[in-house]
Amino acid sequence: MAPKGSKEPPSTIRVGKIGDFAEVGVYNQFKSDNFWIVHLPEGLLVATSTICTHLGCIPNWLQNDLKFKCPCHGSGFDMAGINFEGPAPRPLERHKIWLEGDVVMIDKAFIYREELGQWTDGNSFVAV
């Protein structure tokens, strides 16, 4: 038996029902947990890491500009997380995401990187 309170925080998170993310856009309410749920126009739901791939600052989602903008050195990422301006060398990372019934689950212990071809992995998105 382990002492009470010795467990690491679970990396698996129930983020809500699939219907909570019905609209295309960025769901910002999980930013303090270091991820965004993003419903992409092509019909994919992804869990995007908030960690800038330059030096690790936390970008902001700018709804008017439809981009993530890092306050530290100006890197910009589109809604899909692709870097297109500033010094960030690669896209934002994604976490594992899946459905349990109609509940959206993510696991932050799993990382999927676009530049390694991992965004085609079926565990890196949910088709909606």
Using only C-alpha atoms, the chain has a radius of gyration, in whole angstroms, of 15
Q: How far is the CB of 60 from ligand FES (least distance, A)?
A: 11
Closest CA to 77 of 125, 121, 31, 26: 26
| Number of residues in the chain | 128
- For residue 51, count other CB atoms closer than 10 A to its CB: 17
Among 33, 73, 89, 103, interactor with ligand FES by CB under 6 A: 73
For position 99 contacting ligand FES by CB under 6 A, the verdict is: no
Stretch that binds ligand FES, among 20-28, 85-93, 96-104, 107-115 (CB under 6 A): 85-93
Establish if 54 lies at the interface with ligand FES (CB under 6 A): yes
**Nearest distance, CB of residue 51 and ligand FES, angstroms:** 9
Among 13, 18, 44, 57, binds ligand FES (CB under 6 A): 57
Of residues 25 and 86, the one with the C-beta less far from ligand FES:
86
Does the footprint of ligand FES cover residue 48 (CB under 6 A)?
no
- The rounded distance, in Å, linking the Cα atoms of 80 and 36 is 11
CA distance 50 to 120: 20
Instruction: Rank residues 42 and 65 by Cβ distance to ligand FES and give the closer one.
Output: 65
What lies within 8 Å, CB to CB, of 76 at 6+ separation is 67, 68, 69, 70, 83, 84, 85, 86
Please give the residue ranges that form the binding site for ligand FES (CB under 6 A).
52, 54-57, 70, 72-75, 86-88
